Each structure stands twice: as C-alpha cells, then as structure tokens.
C-alpha cells in the first residue's frame, strides 16, 4: 500500500528526499527542477480517527474545491491505493469524510472541510490539515505566516489543481448578454442601481456574493472591486449552490460564482477595458483569456514527511486526476486539442498569420511574470504534459515553431527582445526534453487579450490584442506541412493537439520562479 502503510502515530518516513516525478520530467539547465517533494510534516493525524477509521489525510479550505471536487478525487485516490467500499460520510456542515476498506480489513479515510480558502492557510499554520485547498493564490502575509513550512510560492508547495472561471450570473429572463469589469465594479459597489445602464430597463440589480472566507470572493475582489468596498446591500452566501439558486429565482439578481455552479442561472460575457467581451467557456478559461479566469491550488509543506500527501498530489495532477477535475465541471490541465479550432484575430501581423495558418489553439499556456523570463509553477508541469503528448509515435519527425510575445510596458525594442528571449527559453526547455524547435521568434507586444492599464492585465496578455498577446505559438511541421502549437508568453501558451496542428495558450507566470 506504499504511503498508506504507516505505523500508528509514527512520524517516520521511508521516502528519501529525491524529487518526485509528478507526471513530468525534472529539468536541468534552463528551468528549475519541477519534480519535487509534496508532502507535509507529521501532523499527528495517524492518531486521529473518524469512527473506526484511521484518517490518513486532511484537506481543508476552499468551498469551490471541497464541495464536490475534493471528495471525488479522494474517492478515486483511495481506490488507486487498493480500497473498496469507498463512500462519503457527511459529518458537519461543509465537511465530509471519504473512507474505504483496505485488503487488510482496515478502514482508512480522508477528511475534507470546505469553509473557505482562508481556512486552508490558517489550518496549515495550526497543523490542522495536510493539504490546503485554495481557489486563489496565497497572499504575502500568509506566505510569511507559513514560512516554517518552507517557501509556499515554490513549486514544492504550490500546485495548480485545475482552472476555473468566476462566472457572472443573472436570471435566465435577463436580456443582458455582457458586462464590463468597470460596470461590475459599479454594480457590486452599489453605484450602479439601474439595470438600464447596462441595457435592461427593469428594476435595479439585486447583488449576491460569497462570504468573506471564500476564495471566490477574494478573487472577485482582487479582479473586479479592487479598493472599492462591496455594497452593504449585497446578500452573502457560504454555499456556492445556494447563491446560484438565489440568483436563478430573482429576475433582478446578479452574482458571481465558480463555473461549475452556474446551475439554473445564466452566465454572461465579461469584457476588460478596450477588449471584446468573452463568455466563460472551457477553452477561454483554459487559455486564461476570460477576464475572470482563475487557478485552483493545492498547498502543502515544502519539506515532505507524509507519503499520503505526496501521493495524493501526484494523483491529482496526473492525467487520471485531471480527468476528474474536468468531470466535476472545472477545466483540467491537458494537452488535448479543443473541439473547434480558433483562428488568429483579423488584425494579427501578416507573419503571424502565415506561421499559424491552420494552427489549432490548445488549452495549455506557459506564462511569465510581467517583464520576466521565468516560467511559473504551472508552466513547469505543463512542459511535461506537452512533451508526453508530442512524444507519441504519431508525431515522430515533427518539429516545433515557437512564437513569443511580451507585454506593452517599456519600449517596443525592449519588448521585441523580451518576446524572442521568452521563446528561446521555451525552446531550450523543449530541447532538454529531446524536442527541437524548427524556428524561434517573437512578436513584441502585439495582440492583447486584457487591459494594459493594470499589472494583472499586462501579465495576462502582454498588451496584445484579442486574446493572442504574449502568445507563444508552437507549430509542428510534418513534411511540407506545418503543424502549429500556439502558446502565450506573458503567459506563454503551450499545449499540443491530437491534430496535425498544435497551439499553446497563456498561463500566468511569476518572476520569483527561477528559469
């Protein structure tokens, strides 16, 4: 049983401090090692029981993750460890125990508490959980507070579980089809009180919002409200499903919710300053073009002692785990191509159109921090996903073309060089893995998908237009035919397809991850 066969109350581990593969290959030279240890220190959970079962793992935090996704992953994980008769046992509100019976007749369980992303970090600090589930990235003060567990922003501690979009929902009878981030700020700030201002001549909007502990609320506050306070008239909900049903029952209701919880309400398109409105779909969220897209995280201690924690994270990030992410309404991380090809925008540079002619835009992106040449944690995993996919026999002999982009900060000359350097970095990363790019170039700061007025927008799109900014196009060549992969670079996108053409999309990247 590997990680599950541990003596009661023991803090000892037979695992060495060698990197764990996590479904990707360790990097050398250009990129930091991405195969890392993912477990937390001994927390005393082996002496904890749920009824007659031994709790082997405790996951606390986000309601978005904990309501359905975490229990589904826990069930599948226990089965991979040999458990049968796996079932969920509700305990208290927003809490559940997933348990199974093992071949030695022992009963082992995974404890899940879903009281909001803030509790992921408070419970990690208080040694109350092994994995912190968060629907937003850890905050600087939380990083400081958890320094005893290691660098929580490092690949050893921060793991991207999947992608989600914060959907703006209204009643199905509402004729409004789109709204800007600026209008959302006014609505939820209580300054826009008449639907006529967004094209619907009815009574004022009734706002509903997630509670203060919610990662969904934290993300919405950061992306939309900024320093503006939420209107006191907003109704607050801890449960995502209750919030969605409240909006679905009110013709004037408007709220925000994770994509899987739209339910009977209607999601509308969202635009950023100077950009087109985009609906939250699996592709626009996977590419992070949708203005309110976000990542879902698992946080662990950097210095692992607990085999079950490490094994669970490995499973969650594997192909099987990512399929469960997708089955539960979120967007899993995969190199599979989308059902419908996405052509480049009409105003794309002619060379860009020529190089990407016939290319398919795929749902894995590589991102860099603003002005940075460092890949972020998600990109490090995605490199392995792309390599595994492209390494299949059906792609033997094909080559990759890399097209990089940068944000619009600074001079064009600087951004042009940065876009090329980012493309070279990814080319080196693929070269290390045995894949040689046939061409490597950059397209400066062309093709924005988000506003360049904010740091978040610049990091997301590099000031490029219509969602192709900071895009790194990986193209596959087969004989006389070019087959393309497109990927972003302020977010560099990388993904491969089962089709002749490949594309890679954008992924937000931080500058504190060494290249």
pLDDT digits (tens, 9 = 90+) for 334-348: 877 777 667 776 778
Q: Are 144 and 6 contained in the same domain?
A: yes
Mean predicted confidence (pLDDT) in 5-16? 37
pLDDT at 369: 61
pLDDT at 61: 97
Q: Per residue in 378-423, pLDDT tens?
A: 988 888 888 887 777 766 655 566 778 887 778 889 889 988 888 8
pLDDT at 399: 59
pLDDT at 31: 29
The answer as to whether 183 is a domain residue is: yes
Among 142, 166, 73, which Cα is nearest to 299's?
142
Q: Per residue in 47-76, pLDDT tens?
A: 444 557 899 999 999 998 999 999 999 999
Structure tokens given for 7: 């003596």
Whether residue 125 has pLDDT greater than 90: yes
Mean predicted confidence (pLDDT) in 324-333? 93
Mean predicted confidence (pLDDT) in 246-265? 93
Given pLDDT bands bounded at 50, 70 and 90, which one contains residue 86?
A: very high
pLDDT at 438: 73
Are 284 and 293 a contacting pair, CB within 8 Å?
Answer: yes
pLDDT at 370: 57
The pLDDT > 70 percentage for the chain reads 71
Q: Are 184 and 218 contained in the same domain?
A: yes
pLDDT at 498: 19
Q: Are 6 and 127 contained in the same domain?
A: yes
Mean predicted confidence (pLDDT) in 480-489? 34
The answer as to whether 402 is a domain residue is: yes
What SS3 string covers 319-367? HHHHHHHHHCCCECCCCCCCCCCCCCCCCCCHHHHHHHCCCECCCCEEE
Q: Are 172 and 268 contained in the same domain?
A: yes
Q: Domain of 404: which CATH number?
A: 3.30.1330.60
Are 77 and 147 a contacting pair, CB within 8 Å?
Answer: no
Q: Are 214 and 256 contained in the same domain?
A: yes
The answer as to whether 196 is a domain residue is: yes
The answer as to whether 503 is a domain residue is: no
Higher pLDDT, 1 or 267: 267
Structure tokens given for 82: 């040999």
Q: Are 94 and 146 contained in the same domain?
A: yes
pLDDT at 396: 62
pLDDT at 195: 80
pTM over 0.85: no
Q: Are 258 and 309 contained in the same domain?
A: no
Q: Are 279 and 311 contained in the same domain?
A: no
Q: Are 143 and 12 contained in the same domain?
A: yes
Given pLDDT bands bounded at 50, 70 and 90, which one contains residue 375?
A: confident
Are 182 and 277 a contacting pair, CB within 8 Å?
Answer: no
pLDDT at 273: 77
Higher pLDDT, 470 or 194: 194
Q: Per residue in 149-178, pLDDT tens?
A: 999 999 999 999 999 989 999 999 999 999
Q: Are 309 and 220 contained in the same domain?
A: no
pLDDT at 52: 78
The answer as to whether 240 is a domain residue is: yes
Calculate the average pLDDT of the chain.
76
Q: Per residue in 128-150, pLDDT tens?
A: 999 999 999 999 999 999 999 99
Mean predicted confidence (pLDDT) in 199-216? 77
Mean predicted confidence (pLDDT) in 89-103? 96
The answer as to whether 295 is a domain residue is: no
Domain containing 151 equals: 2-155+300-327
Q: Are 12 and 121 contained in the same domain?
A: yes
The answer as to whether 293 is a domain residue is: no
Total count of domains within the chain: 3
The answer as to whether 264 is a domain residue is: yes
Q: Domain of 189: which CATH number?
A: 3.40.190.10
- Rounded to the nearest angstrom, the gap between the alpha carbon of residue 408 and the centroid of all alpha carbons in its chain is 24
Q: Are 409 and 280 contained in the same domain?
A: no
Among 63, 26, 83, which Cα is nearest to 308's?
83
Mean predicted confidence (pLDDT) in 484-496? 32
């Amino acid at each position: 049983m590997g990680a599950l066969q541990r003596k009661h109350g023991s803090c000892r581990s037979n695992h060495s401090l060698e990197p764990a593969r996590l479904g990707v290959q360790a990097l050398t030279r250009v990129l930091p090692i991405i195969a890392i240890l993912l477990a937390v220190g001994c927390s005393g959970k082996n002496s904890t029981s749920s009824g007659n079962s031994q709790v082997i793992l405790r996951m606390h935090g986000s309601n978005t993750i904990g309501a359905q996704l975490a229990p589904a992953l826990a069930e599948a994980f226990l089965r991979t460890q040999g458990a049968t008769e796996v079932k969920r046992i509700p305990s208290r509100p927003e809490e559940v125990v997933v348990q199974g019976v093992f071949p030695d007749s022992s009963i082992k369980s995974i404890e899940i508490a879903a009281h909001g992303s803030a509790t992921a970090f408070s419970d990690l600090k208080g040694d109350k959980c092994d994995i912190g589930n968060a629907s937003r990235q850890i905050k600087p003060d939380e990083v400081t507070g958890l320094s005893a567990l290691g660098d929580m922003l490092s690949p050893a501690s921060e793991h991207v579980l999947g992608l989600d979009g914060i959907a703006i929902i209204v009643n199905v009878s509402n004729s409004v089809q789109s709204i800007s981030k600026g209008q959302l700020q006014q609505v939820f700030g209580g300054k826009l009180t008449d639907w006529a201002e967004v094209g619907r001549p009815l009574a004022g909007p009734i706002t509903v919002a997630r509670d203060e502990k919610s990662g969904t609320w934290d993300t919405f506050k950061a992306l939309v409200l900024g320093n503006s306070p939420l209107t006191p008239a907003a109704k607050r909900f801890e449960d995502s499903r209750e919030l969605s049903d409240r909006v679905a029952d009110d013709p004037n209701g408007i709220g925000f919710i994770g994509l899987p919880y739209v339910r009977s309400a209607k999601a509308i398109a969202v635009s950023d300053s100077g950009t087109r409105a985009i609906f939250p779909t699996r592709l626009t969220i996977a590419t992070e073009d949708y203005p309110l897209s976000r990542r879902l995280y698992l946080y662990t201690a950097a210095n692992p002692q607990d085999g079950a924690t490490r094994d669970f994270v490995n499973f969650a990030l594997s192909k099987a785990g990512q399929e469960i992410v997708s089955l539960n309404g979120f967007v899993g991380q995969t190199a599979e191509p989308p059902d419908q090809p996405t052509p480049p925008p009409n105003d794309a540079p002619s060379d860009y159109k020529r190089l990407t002619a016939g290319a398919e835009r795929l749902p894995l992106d590589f991102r860099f921090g603003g002005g940075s040449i460092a890949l972020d944690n998600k990109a490090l995993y995605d490199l392995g996903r792309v390599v595994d996919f492209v390494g299949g026999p059906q792609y033997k002999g094909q080559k990759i073309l890399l097209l990089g982009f940068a944000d619009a900060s600074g001079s064009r000359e600087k951004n042009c060089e940065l876009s090329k350097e980012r493309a070279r970095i990814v080319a080196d990363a693929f070269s290390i893995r045995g894949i040689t790019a046939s061409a490597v170039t950059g397209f400066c700061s062309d093709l924005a998908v988000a506003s360049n007025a904010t740091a978040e927008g610049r990091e997301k799109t590099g000031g490029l237009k219509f969602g192709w900014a900071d895009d790194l196009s990986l193209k596959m060549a087969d004989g006389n035919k070019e087959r393309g992969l497109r990927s972003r670079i302020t977010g560099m996108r990388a993904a491969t397809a089962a089709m002749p053409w490949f594309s890679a999309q954008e992924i937000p990247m931080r500058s504190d991850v060494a290249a």
